[in-house]
């Protein structure tokens, strides 16, 4: 089955840029979707189809996807961005929805 | 706005079954798919199965085939997920999530989650 790999944690100072990666075999050929999840809350979609933002998600959130790595970029990081971030793809070969292991973003 | 409200926490013994509910509001229930995803402690999200609410077509992950049943009551705007033969490894938070409009690929809204504890 298809495997997505994320770093367990990323730490960044307020106002700086956070980059969270999601690795997978030729992931650039798939569409990647990102969710954030704060403790005790439901996951929230922040990026879909690699780089599209749902309404209500700040422009500070962007995404890219190429080769074997997809990246979620959060510019001008704020304390409220602290959360777990999960990447997800739909694996057409298995017909399964697959998630990365999640990355905990810490705002220093 | 869209809301998915899930039933409360459950404590179950190994070998028994659990049936969770997910009540939808704020949209036309039959126009969207409804998925079930779980997250065990310290583990990644794991997709379990989905129901195409409009035609009641369901599909399950092979990892749960034979143990899971997803159903829905369109008159109550509610979906259900029943998992049988529970074991300790099934202890997790279970989420329902709506399939995005016009796309099979991702989930645009999630429920708040239901904690299922399995213990003798």
Q: What are the tens digits of pLDDT across the range B40-49?
A: 999 999 999 9
DSSP B70-120: EEEETTTTEEEEEE-S--GGG-EEEEEEEEPTT-SS-EEEE---EEEEE--
Task: Say how many CA atoms lie within 13 Å of B35 toward its Cβ.
Answer: 22
Judge whether residue B56 has pLDDT over 90: no
d(CA A41, CA B23): 17
Q: Does A99 touch chain B (CB under 8 A)?
A: yes
> Residue B76: is its pLDDT beyond 90?
yes
Which pLDDT belongs to residue A24? 97
* Residue B108: pLDDT over 90: yes
Nearest-Cα distance to chain A for B87, in Å, is: 22
Could you tell me if A64 and A51 are in contact, meaning their C-beta atoms sit under 8 angstroms apart? Answer: yes
Burial of A87 (0-12, 13-18, 19+ CB in 10 A): buried
Q: What residue in A sits closest to B109 (Cα-Cα)?
A: A44
Is the predicted pLDDT of residue B75 greater than 90, yes or no?
yes
B30 in the Ramachandran plot: left (φ > 0), alpha (ψ -120 to 50) or beta?
A: alpha
The distance of A107 to chain B (nearest Cα, Å) reads 21
Using CA atoms, how far apart are residues A1 and A16, in angstroms rounded to an integer? 36
Residue B63 in tokens: 């990892």
Is B44 close to A99, i.e. CB distance below 8 A? yes
Q: What digits encode the pLDDT tens for the residues A6-62?
A: 999 999 999 999 999 999 999 999 999 999 999 989 999 999 999 999 999 999 999
Question: What distance in Å separates the CA atoms of residue B75 and residue B23, rounded to the nearest whole number?
Answer: 11
Confidence grade of residue B104 (pLDDT, cut at 50, 70, 90):
confident
Query: Do A95 and B97 lie within an 8 Å CB cutoff?
Result: no
Q: In B, residues 28-87, which contact A (CB 8 Å cutoff)?
A: 35, 37, 44-47, 59, 61
What is the pLDDT averaged over residues A51-75? Answer: 97
d(CA A76, CA A93): 38
B110 touches chain A (CB under 8 A): yes
- From B4, B95, B106, residue closest to A88, measured CB to CB: B106
Test the B interface: residue of A29, A36, A43, A48 with most B CBs within 10 Å: A43
Which residues on B lie below 8 Å from A31 (Cβ)?
105-106
Residue A66 has pLDDT above 90, yes or no: yes
Q: What is the pLDDT of residue B119?
A: 93
Contact between B51 and B79 under an 8 Å Cβ cutoff? The reply is yes
Confidence of residue B101 (pLDDT cuts 50, 70, 90): confident
Average pLDDT, chain B: 95
Please calculate the CA angle A9-A14-A18 and round it to the nearest 5 degrees: 40
Residue A101 pLDDT grade (very low, low, confident, very high; cuts 50, 70, 90): very high
**Are β-strands B33-39 and A83-91 bridged in parallel, bridged antiparallel, or unpaired?**
unpaired
């Amino acid at each position: 089955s298809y495997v997505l790999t994320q770093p367990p944690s990323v730490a960044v100072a307020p106002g700086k840029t956070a980059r969270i990666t999601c690795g997978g075999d030729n992931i650039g050929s798939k569409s990647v979707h990102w969710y954030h999840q704060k403790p005790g809350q439901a996951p929230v979609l922040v990026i879909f189809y690699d780089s599209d933002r749902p309404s209500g998600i700040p422009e500070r959130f962007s995404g890219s996807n190429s080769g074997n790595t997809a990246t979620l970029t959060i510019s001008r990081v704020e304390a409220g961005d602290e959360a777990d971030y999960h990447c997800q793809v739909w694996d057409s070969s298995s017909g399964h929805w697959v998630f990365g292991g999640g990355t905990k973003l810490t705002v220093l | 706005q869209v809301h998915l409200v899930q039933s409360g926490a459950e404590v179950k013994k190994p070998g028994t079954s659990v049936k969770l509910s997910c009540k939808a509001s704020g949209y036309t229930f039959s126009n969207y798919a409804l998925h079930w995803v779980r997250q065990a402690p310290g583990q990644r999200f794991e997709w379990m199965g989905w129901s195409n609410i409009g035609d009641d077509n369901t599909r399950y992950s092979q990892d749960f085939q034979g143990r899971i049943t997803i159903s829905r009551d369109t008159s109550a705007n509610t979906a259900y997920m029943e998992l049988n033969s529970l074991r300790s490894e099934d202890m997790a938070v279970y989420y329902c999530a709506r399939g995005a409009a016009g796309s099979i690929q991702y989930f645009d809204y999630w429920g708040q989650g239901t904690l299922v504890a399995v213990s003798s």
